[in-house]
Amino acid sequence: MKHKTVEVKNVLRTQAMFENLQSRSMITPGIGLIHGPSGYGKTTTVTYMFNELTVSGHQPLYVRCYATDTPSSFLARVMSEMGAEPMFPLRKMVDYIVRSMNERSLALFVDEADHIVGQAKTMETIRDLYDSTEQPVVLIGMEEIARRISHRKQLFNRISEWVEFKSADIEDVHLFAAELMDSRLTIAEDLLDFIRSKSSGEVRRILIALEKIERAMIASDEDYIDLAGWGDRPLFLTHRR
């Protein structure tokens, strides 16, 4: 399987969201939210966008949160992304980050934000960074993060763009197969639809299934396979109670 990001619907919606944040008017707040279940490709999409922006000369900041984070560790990780050492007291780090974001027009992506959404001081720190710079800030988290953030009105009211990652449809599955698999191989429509149905549209499981099929086809020197041809060979991990 090729190692690349396929521009399926979730990816295109995310790109459009960030473009809207960058081109928004002065009266529109600039915080974005990406949310959806695990395995739907959120982090892969954000990493792809980060790399594209870097190539174009607009490198943003990308910070991944952890369950053990505090305002201090979060700010230290932002500083590290900027190539700087932590400073104390914390206000010095905030001032440095604000100055750098303004001078270099840096957007900030905060992945795995579920870990900190319950931490009032860390979330307020993110709001302070946004309010002091008005550079785009994008929060990425699981499906429950929108509800949890809604309780923090001052932050929630600054979200002007959001993307909820949806399960992949059959067009997306076709695109994954066409873009990622060996071009000499063809998977029939019924097998692709079986993959979509059994995976519930979860991107991670779809890619695992496609790679299993590709390996099997190459090993058996086949260039076409359908659902009947695949038979009862397992594609997905299942469990019984």
Residue 241 lies in a domain: no
For residue 77, give the 3-state DSSP assignment: helix
Angle between helices 90-104 and 71-81 (to 10 degrees): 40
* CA 1 – CA 206 distance, rounded (Å): 12
E strand segments, the chain: 31-35, 61-64, 108-111, 137-141, 159-164, 186-187, 224-225
Q: What is the tens place of the pLDDT at every residue in 226-241?
A: 999 999 999 998 765 5
Q: At 55, is the pLDDT very low, low, confident or very high (cuts 50, 70, 90)?
A: confident
Domain final position from 130, 164, 198: 164
Does residue 2 lie within any of the structural domains?
no
User: What are the residues facing 140 on neighbouring strands?
Assistant: 34
pLDDT score at 241: 54
Does a structural domain hold residue 23? yes
Of 18-22, 48-52, 123-127, 215-219, the one with minimum mean pLDDT is: 48-52
Same domain, 85 and 17: yes
Whether pLDDT at 125 is above 90: yes
User: Residue 128: exposed, middle, or buried by beta-carbon count in 10 A (0-12, 13-18, 19+)?
Assistant: middle
Has residue 213 got a pLDDT over 70? Answer: yes
Both 44 and 148 in a single domain?
A: yes
Q: Exposure of 224 by Cβ count < 10 A (0-12 exposed, 13-18 middle, 19+ buried)?
A: exposed
Stretch 71-90: mean pLDDT, rounded?
Answer: 96
How large is the average pLDDT for residues 115-133? 96
Task: Please give the average per-residue pLDDT across 1-27, as a whole number.
Answer: 95
Enclosing domain of residue 212? 170-230
Structure tokens that stand for 75 in this block: 């700010």
Q: Are residues 104 and 216 in the same domain?
A: no
**Is 1 part of any domain?**
no
The CATH number covering residue 117 comes to 3.40.50.300
**For the chain, how many structural domains are there in total?**
2
Given 164, 192, 210, the domain boundary residue is 164
